[in-house]
Amino acid sequence: METLEFQAEARQLLQLMVHSIYSNKDIFLRELISNASDALDKLRLATLQDGLEADTSDLHIEIEADSEARTLTVRDNGIGMTHDEVVELIGTIAKSGTAELLTKLKEAKESPELIGQFGVGFYSTFMVADRVELVTRKAGTEGHGTRWESAGEGTYSIDDAPDAPIGTSVTVHLRPKDEEDALYDYADEWKIKEIVKRYSDFISFPIKMGDETLNSMKALWARPRSEVSDDEYHQFYRHISHDWTDPLEIINMKAEGTFEYEALLFLPARAPHDLFQRDAQRGLQLYVKRVFIMDDSKELIPDYLRFVKGVVDAADLSLNISREILQQDRHIQMIRRRLVKKVLSTIKDLLNNNPEKYATFWREFGKALKEGLLNDSDNQKAILDVSTFASTAGAEPTTLAAYIERMKEGQEDIYYLTGDSRTQVENSPHMEAFQAQGYEVLILTDPVDEIWVEAVPDYDGKKLQSIARGNVDLPADKDEPQPEGDFAPLLTFLKENLEEQVKDVRLSHRLTTSAACLVSDSDDITPALEKMYRAMGQ
Ligand code: ADP
Ligand code: MG
């Protein structure tokens, strides 16, 4: 037997669990069932796709409670783990972002949502246990199984388990009863049934206690919306997303005919911490006729909609479809196009009918959605339709359509100015004349704004025009010549002295209080974009 130390981050997280920052401890059982269900999916998939020889005729999850011994065991006959996998998967926290979670948690004491966002999973057992044992044996390997045990302090022990059957069993040694409220007796069968029903009813494998199957196993996406409660949808959302916050919007889709599929999608209510990290998990779950095929299927949804969570169940794909084939499959491409349209139309509905939800959506995901303006030219217009922007017209963001309605007589273009912050943009000298003459200017402060404005020529026939560019004439100025007159000597002086720095020095009507401002040639990149390229080392 070996005794090993938990990795530092894992230890910190365990401390949080032992001291139970969660008020809802029931979820530990959901986490164990969720892991067991994943393990069963993996075993079935390995037999389908990798030719693994294993008996998959009776995949199931078993719960055993012993109220005398105060133990609760969750057992599956799924894929199991090797010795090294146990050390790697259970002894460390491989997930990126855990360090970030820990600092955030220290800042904000009571924040169960944060935990949910990071899905602490297996470690949540230490909320109710003073000792946890895990016995496992990997399918398709020779030799013995592995036993792991820990009291959730700094160390765990690991040992051979010669007789372990294939699969995994986790035994939770519940803390003494007097510490807990009677409501939280997890060795009580009634309590267990209630939790399974509430959190894990949709799990597609039977969850058995004795002879009884506790869950209905109905695929949620296959049931009519009217028959499914919000709570059921929310539990399912948690299962697939590891997000503790309820979703903002639920989207059901069903296509019949030549190519059948069903989809159940969710718009989350908050952005994950890694929304802008390259290695973040993204994509949807793919099922074929109720059989789980893969997580994170990026082929089903474009990158700029990576925040969308959910499941697509396609009827006509082969069960052993690979990622490579998925990329080329025209049915998948068709589903993807439909999902994009549906998501965009859902956002449009929010914009028109539920301003509050829309505002949440836009605050959390607007930045990501705008990436689509660059990458998805087919839907550029639809994305602009549901985008809103800060503007000099007021505190609330505006749609482009609303901007156009407010345009002044003679104004042809949509004016915007990019910058780092609203204050910076508002105080820019470029703004003066536009402000003075009452022209509305969009204030674009997201880094991605610099780039998409270059890619989008116009909206509804109205050109998007940066007011930092050379030849923006205010409509009111157009007919007025700008005689150099008395300023000619000054201009010549400035041109000569600034030869190295600027291309030209001109008189301008743009300024009302500042003495001078820098503008770019119409074809030049904007100053902010220049800064961004420089920052990127180009
Ligand atoms: P997550 O499920 O989000 O990955 P967990 O902490 O719940 O995180 O589990 C960590 C890992 O341990 C899982 O990803 C899986 O690889 C492994 N694991 C946990 N439970 C089981 C199980 N019952 N069978 C096989 N592997 C498991
Ligand atoms: Mg898990």
Asked if residue 379 has its Cβ within 6 Å of ligand 1, the reply is no
Q: Helices (H), strands (E): how many in the chain?
A: 18, 20
The residues placing their C-beta within 5 Å of ligand 2, an ion, are 34-35, 121
Q: Which ligand is nearest to the CA of 242?
A: 1
* Residue closest by Cα to atom 17 of ligand 1: 89
ipTM confidence: 0.99
DSSP state of 183: G
- What digits encode the pLDDT tens for the residues 247-273? 999 999 999 887 899 999 999 999 988
Q: Are strands 207-209 and 61-66 parallel, antiparallel or unpaired?
A: parallel
The yes-or-no verdict on residue 533 having pLDDT over 60 is: no
Looking at residue 479, its pLDDT comes to 47
The yes-or-no verdict on residue 516 having pLDDT over 80 is: no
Looking at residue 393, its pLDDT comes to 94
* Residue closest by Cα to atom 18 of ligand 1: 35
In the predicted model, what is the mean pLDDT of residues 18-31? 77
From the annotation, which residues make up the binding site for ATP?
31, 35, 76, 81, 95-97, 117-122, 168, 323
Looking at residue 362, its pLDDT comes to 98
Alpha helices, DSSP H only, in 262-354? 323-328, 330-353
Looking at residue 71, its pLDDT comes to 96
Other beta carbons within 10 Å of 519? 23
Residue in 122, 156, 244 to alter for ligand 1 test, most ligand atoms within 8 A of Cβ? 122
46-60, 311-325, 326-340: least confident range: 311-325
* Sign of the C-alpha dihedral computed for residues 45, 51, 56 and 57 taken in this order: positive
Residue in 14, 16, 35, 292 to alter for ligand 1 test, most ligand atoms within 8 A of Cβ? 35
Looking at residue 510, its pLDDT comes to 64
Asked if residue 17 has its Cβ within 6 Å of ligand 1, the reply is no
The yes-or-no verdict on residue 537 having pLDDT over 60 is: no
Looking at residue 4, its pLDDT comes to 92
DSSP state of 299: G
| C-alpha 194 to ligand 1 mean position (Å) | 23
User: Is residue 384 a contact partner of residue 453, using CB atoms and an 8 Å limit?
Assistant: no
Asked if residue 494 has its Cβ within 6 Å of ligand 1, the reply is no
Asked if residue 26 has its Cβ within 6 Å of ligand 1, the reply is no
| C-alpha 242 to ligand 2 mean position (Å) | 9
* Residue closest by Cα to atom 5 of ligand 1: 121
Whole-prediction pTM value?
0.74
pLDDT band at residue 330, thresholds of 50, 70 and 90? confident
Residues 6+ apart with CB under 8 A from 123: 10, 13, 14, 17
* Maximum C-alpha span of the chain: 101
- 3 state SS of 239: helix
User: Is residue 307 a contact partner of residue 268, using CB atoms and an 8 Å limit?
Assistant: yes
In the predicted model, what is the mean pLDDT of residues 439-445? 96
Element (H, E) at 198: helix 189-200
Q: Which ligand 1 atom lies nearest to the CA of residue 78?
A: 24
- Hey, what are 483's tokens? 């005689």
From the annotation, which residues make up the binding site?
31, 35, 76, 81, 95-97, 117-122, 168, 323
The yes-or-no verdict on residue 178 having pLDDT over 90 is: no
Other beta carbons within 10 Å of 238? 20
Looking at residue 487, its pLDDT comes to 78
With b for 16 or more beta-carbon neighbours within 10 A and e for fewer, the 506-515 pattern comes to: eeeebeeeee
pLDDT band at residue 538, thresholds of 50, 70 and 90? very low
Q: Which ligand 1 atom lies nearest to the CA of residue 119?
A: 3
- What digits encode the pLDDT tens for the residues 132-169? 999 999 999 888 999 999 999 889 999 999 999 999 99
The yes-or-no verdict on residue 472 having pLDDT over 70 is: no
With b for 16 or more beta-carbon neighbours within 10 A and e for fewer, the 162-179 pattern comes to: eebebbbbbbbbbbeeee
| C-alpha 267 to ligand 2 mean position (Å) | 21
Asked if residue 39 has its Cβ within 6 Å of ligand 1, the reply is yes
DSSP state of 63: E
> Who has greater pLDDT, 84 or 496?
84
- 3 state SS of 316: coil
Looking at residue 535, its pLDDT comes to 55
| C-alpha 34 to ligand 2 mean position (Å) | 6
Asked if residue 54 has its Cβ within 6 Å of ligand 1, the reply is no
Q: Which amino acid is at 109?
A: K
- What digits encode the pLDDT tens for the residues 347-404? 999 999 999 999 999 999 999 999 999 989 999 999 999 999 999 999 999 999 999 9
Asked if residue 79 has its Cβ within 6 Å of ligand 1, the reply is yes
Looking at residue 181, its pLDDT comes to 61
| C-alpha 65 to ligand 2 mean position (Å) | 21
Q: Which ligand 1 atom lies nearest to the CA of residue 76?
A: 23
Q: Which residues pair with 159 in a beta bridge?
A: 147
In the predicted model, what is the mean pLDDT of residues 1-11? 87
